[in-house]
Amino acid sequence: MVIKPIMSSSGKGQSVAETEAELAKCWDYAQTGGRTGAGRVIVEEFIKFDSEITMLTVRASNGTQFCDPVGHRQVGGDYVESWQPHPMTPAQLEQSHDIARRITDHLGGHGLFGVELFLAGDRVIFSEVSPRPHDTGMVTLCTQPWSEFALHARAILGLPIPAIRRHSVGASVALRAASNLASPVIDGLADAYATPDVDVRFFGKPTAGPRRRLGVVLATAETWDDALAKAKRAAGLLRLRDG
């Protein structure tokens, strides 16, 4: 089973118990790694899935709309790479829209929601929802005229969104600290920028611990897997160090 804190981010406090002997350790980690909900946890069935996506769902003054599906890969419950669009069948896409609409209608309000879903054969299974722009959705910074952040701002300001467009196929790779950094800096930008259609966003965080996300590499190409390969090559040229 999967054991999660009541509220968290980037997989903190989340773990998998494969035997009864691991339950106490998983409980302790959920209590210390989460942000709230002392004395409670979320327990879920472990799902064997083919892939997982984020359905970026926007509730605006003129109704609900969806970005093209964002595929992603996580390690330890934390996003490491994503791409848009993720290949899906029409039936999977219809199910995904239906689930995302029902979840966000129940929550209410205006803004962008990151609805995470598992794809298992013909089935689409709800995983979780973030009531805000989603880390995997940073790929929209290079694929859409209106990124997930711009869509969120426009929606919460009560402005209409007549259509959500995608102008390119793209991918993102997270840049994460490998150790404690008192003053993170990034090296290798000239090498990374030597590749066409690559962009790097460095977040400028004042400090960082292990696994903390400090930036993202964005790339576009003709296909999502080519874009992902390009982003991963560029990320391999970058180095995060203590300044």
pLDDT digits (tens, 9 = 90+) for 88-145: 999 999 999 999 999 999 999 999 999 999 999 989 999 999 999 999 999 999 999 9
187 catalytic? Reply is no
Q: Does the annotation mark 11 as catalytic? A: yes
Give the burial class of 157: count Cβ atoms within 10 A of its Cβ; 0-12 exposed, 13-18 middle, 19 or more buried.
exposed
- The residue whose two tokens read 């409670």 is 40
For the chain, what are the domain ranges?
2-44, 51-242
User: Does residue 116 have an active-site annotation?
Assistant: yes
* Active-site residue identified among 101, 154, 212, 213: 213
Indicate which residue of 52, 81, 116, 148 is catalytic: 116
Residue 36 has pLDDT above 80, yes or no: no
Mean pLDDT of 74-90: 92
Is 15 catalytic? The answer is: no
Are 82 and 138 in contact by the 8 Å Cβ rule? The answer is yes
Q: What confidence score (pLDDT) does residue 211 get?
A: 87
Task: Report the percentage of the chain scoring pLDDT > 90.
Answer: 86
**pTM exceeding the 0.75 threshold for the entire prediction:** yes
Give the integer Cα–Cα distance in Å for 219 and 235.
10
The answer, yes or no, to whether residue 68 has pLDDT greater than 70, is: yes
Active site residue 9: yes
DSSP 25-46: HHHHHHHHHSSB-TT--EEEPP
> Is 106 or 35 the better-scoring residue by pLDDT?
106
- pLDDT tens for 97-112 read 999 999 999 999 999 9
* CATH number for the domain formed by residue range(s) 51-242: 3.30.470.20
Distances (CA, A) of 26 to 20, 74, 236: 10, 19, 33
Distance CA 22, CA 2 (A): 11
The single residue of 22, 78, 128, 197 carrying the catalytic annotation is 128
Q: Once rounded to an integer, what is the mean pLDDT over residues 196-208?
A: 96
